[in-house]
Amino acid sequence: MTIALAYYGNELERPTANLSSVSMQLQLYQVRYFLALARTLNFTRAAEQCNVTQPALTKAVQKLEQELGGTLIHRERNLTQLTELGKMILPTLEKIFAAAEAVRLQAQGYQKKTIAPLKIGLAPSVSAALIMELLLELARIIPDLRVDLHEADANGLVAMLLDGEINAALVGDAVELPERVDRWLLFEERYVLVLSRKHPMARQTVIPLQDLHEAVFLERVGCDVAGRFKQACFADHPGPKVVHRSAQESHLQQMASAGFGAILAPEHAPRLPSLAAIPIEGDPVRREVQLLAVAGRQYSPALDAFIKVARVRDWTSALDKLPRASAPASNNYLPGSGEHGAAEEIDGCLESHTRDRSRPFSLQTSTGGLGSPPSALWGVRRRARFDPDSLRAGP
């Protein structure tokens, strides 16, 4: 590998005014031989470490000195030491070599398919808990799966898809897509009313439509079903009484828990244990959750598997495993429904399959500011690891 650099005076640095530059071509093997010599200060041992003859190593270092325009190694009888120039450029050459090695290893991993990156975008109303079992299925067949979860609104996710920042996205159905984006319907779910268990309406098994006219609502900024909710439930009414707003789900849930109002939320979204989720009469608002990917773009093995598994998945059974809205008598705290629910549900899935961690699957989340609760879903960056080999089917 050849590395092209610009040399300014006595330093390798970014260009500044009034400096004349000299172009140079460094061979990576020359840098590697010099670094071995700098470590050992012995030509014989350095040559052995590099698995070359001593004359070959000496010739390579001399060529490097010619490129740099100065002596790097001072030899005096049995004493070998770095010159001032050698000491000065050593840290820079170490960084160059480390970066080149990182590139080489990444390229090898990609070619051998030992690294399987998968970047998934989620709309704020789409819970990460919905795809945890799906990711576990992928880990059974894809070694060293690397998942990176991002959060943004639907328009932001589409832009990230087109820019290549994410590979796939899960969004609600209220979004117009450019022709370049493919969509697949995964499942449909209803919206429910989420409010404090101490709220008077929390004692009801179903919320009548007329009761919504008297309720105080907490509005999720950018809610993708707000228009449909108003049209379906407030056709002959000025509209829902919205007093407080927030773009962060955790803030809305904290306010609802304190009694400030009610939230319109997807039935399977994680919620605080202090909140009840009550169905609305007639289920007037429903949404389709869709999987998006860029049309015509070559899929990586991880993305191809993710799309195929998501499309054939029995989402009805998968959703039945998650908390559902119910009457107060049975609307008790369920795993995955509390302040730490998303993290607990994710960790529970992972830990149930974790044995040997020698070949880890990585999960990293990154949100656009979902607030303070310390869970993977609420915006804390965290990495979960488990061994995909422990998930593989037997012979």
Concatenated DSSP letters for 161-216? HHHTS-SEEEE-S-----TTEEEEEEEEEEEEEEEETTSGGGG-SSB-HHHHTT-E
Least confident of 6-15, 88-97, 122-131, 299-308: 6-15
What digits encode the pLDDT tens for the residues 199-221?
999 999 999 999 999 899 999 88
* Range with the largest mean pLDDT of 26-40, 219-233, 319-333: 26-40
Supply the DSSP string of 67-85, one letter for each residue. HHTS--EEEETTEEEE-HH
How far, CA to CA in Å, does 382 sit from each of 314, 340, 379? 28, 13, 9
- Taking alpha carbons only, the member of 354, 210, 353 closest to residue 284 is 210
User: What single-letter amino acid sits at 289?
Assistant: V
- Percent of the chain topping pLDDT 90: 37
- The CATH architecture of the domain made up of 113-395 is 3-Layer(aba) Sandwich (3.40)
Q: What are phi and psi of 190, to 5 degrees?
A: -95, 160
Start-end of CATH 3.40.190.290 domains in the chain:
113-395
User: Does residue 315 have a pLDDT over 80?
Assistant: yes
pLDDT of res. 83:
92
pLDDT of res. 111:
61
Start-end of CATH 1.10.10.10 domains in the chain:
2-112
Separation of alpha carbons 239 and 244, rounded Å: 15
Separation of alpha carbons 67 and 36, rounded Å: 18
Indicate the CATH number for domain 2-112.
1.10.10.10
Token code pair at residue 39: 């470590």
pLDDT of res. 387:
39
Q: What is the pTM of this model?
A: 0.57
Separation of alpha carbons 376 and 131, rounded Å: 13
Torsion of Cα atoms, 207 then 217 then 177 then 289, to 10°: -40
Separation of alpha carbons 315 and 160, rounded Å: 26
